[in-house]
Amino acid sequence: AVKASGRNGIQVWSEALERSSPAIIQIETGLHKAIARNELILHYQPQVDMASGRIVGVEALMRWQREGRLVPPGEFIPVAEESGLIVPMGEWAIEEACRAGRRWLDAGMEPVPIAVNIASQHMQHANLSSVVQGALTRERLRPELLELELTETGFMKEIAASLTQLNALRSQGIEVAIDDFGTGYSSLAYLTRLPLSKLKIDRSFVDSLDKKNEDRAVVTAIIALARSLKLRVVAEGVETRAQMEALMAHGCTIMQGYLLSKPLPEAQVLELLERQKNFGAEPRWQAMRAC
Ligand code: C2E
Ligand code: MG
Ligand code: MG
Ligand code: MG
């Protein structure tokens, strides 16, 4: 792991070693140039409301086109966070997501909100809300079409600093989702006071929905919590029919996962949106609901 928590001596020591390793330095140097060279791209994973079989949002997931290979975020986001590059990269992602939103509207699609992942470090950056505002204004997008995803752990770590920013964003009309929910240590008292719009149930809980009883209890508790706080709830990492059915049975209908679709290049998302506009719900998803 590149990002050591530094809770003990051994971890700090290995972090220092890793930071100066040639591989890490190479990634960092490459990332510096990646934005200017247009090597970063966004893929989009549909979020489907199984009650209607329609796409109700997409999550933008970053990839790095590096020397003919598509590098997944797990290999470069930790380095970007370590080096602070995550801030300009996050700004690029916000701007690119807004440009995509504009392209899709111009292509005649129905409006679909795009969610962008924001690192906790970026959440405390003073410029965030003006970058968001600038991108929305430039692309003439309503703020509801941009959503920010913050991981629960990252957010709770710096709650005070994040809170001011969160309030600013919400007053601009931006939707805010808590990502990987259930893995952190949210204070429930805080949750009721935060201007949030959505909880995303972490994949690890969804994954064991058809296996472990304790985790099933966590999922049902999160769904009930979201409902009582009047937040929307999305299940991430839905891979099987059994998981989908269990989620439906507990009242969570919005799902994201390989069962429905992997993250897709822009052209393929556009095809899905186009079909949805012309023919309604995707037949494959319709069929899943019917059984
Ligand atoms: P995340 O925000 O929780 O995104 C969901 C991840 O789960 C994505 O991985 C997605 O491809 C994967 N996933 C979705 N459905 C399934 C499924 O059914 N099964 C399995 N096994 N995986 C599924 P990805 O794209 O590799 O991204 C990993 C993480 O990297 C993201 O987790 C997010 O924390 C971070 N990340 C991605 N893009 C960005 C970005 O633009 N900025 C920042 N700060 N972080 C990003
Ligand atoms: Mg996310
Ligand atoms: Mg997530
Ligand atoms: Mg996750």
- Atom number of ligand 1 nearest to Cα 258: 18
Task: Return phi, psi of residue 42, to 5°.
Answer: -110, 135
Ligand 3 ion local residues (Cβ < 5 A)? 179-180, 236
CA–centroid distance, residue 13 to ligand 2 (Å): 30
| Whole-number percent of the chain with pLDDT over 70 | 92
CA–centroid distance, residue 64 to ligand 1 (Å): 13
Please tell me if the CB atom of residue 90 comes closer than 6 angstroms to any atom of ligand 1. yes
Task: List, for residues 126-174, the tens digit of each pLDDT value.
Answer: 899 999 999 999 999 999 999 999 988 877 777 777 888 899 999 999 9
Average pLDDT over every residue of 36-45 = 96
Give the confidence band of 47 by pLDDT, cuts at 50, 70, 90.
very high
Please tell me if the CB atom of residue 273 comes closer than 6 angstroms to any atom of ligand 1. no
The larger pLDDT score, comparing residue 20 to residue 225, is at 225
| Atom 34 (ligand 1) nearest CA | 117
Q: Please determine, for residue 7, whether its predicted confidence score (pLDDT) is greater than 70.
A: no
The question of ipTM being above 0.95 is answered as: yes
| Atom 20 (ligand 1) nearest CA | 237
| Atom 17 (ligand 1) nearest CA | 237
Q: How far is CA 41 from CA 74, 80, 97, 251, 267, in A?
A: 15, 15, 10, 34, 12
CA–centroid distance, residue 273 to ligand 1 (Å): 21
Please tell me if the CB atom of residue 6 comes closer than 6 angstroms to any atom of ligand 1. no
269 SS3 class: helix
CA–centroid distance, residue 183 to ligand 4 (Å): 9
Task: List, for residues 86-110, the tens digit of each pLDDT value.
Answer: 999 999 999 999 999 999 999 999 9
pTM of the predicted structure, to 2 decimals: 0.93
Q: Please determine, for residue 182, whether its predicted confidence score (pLDDT) is greater than 90.
A: no
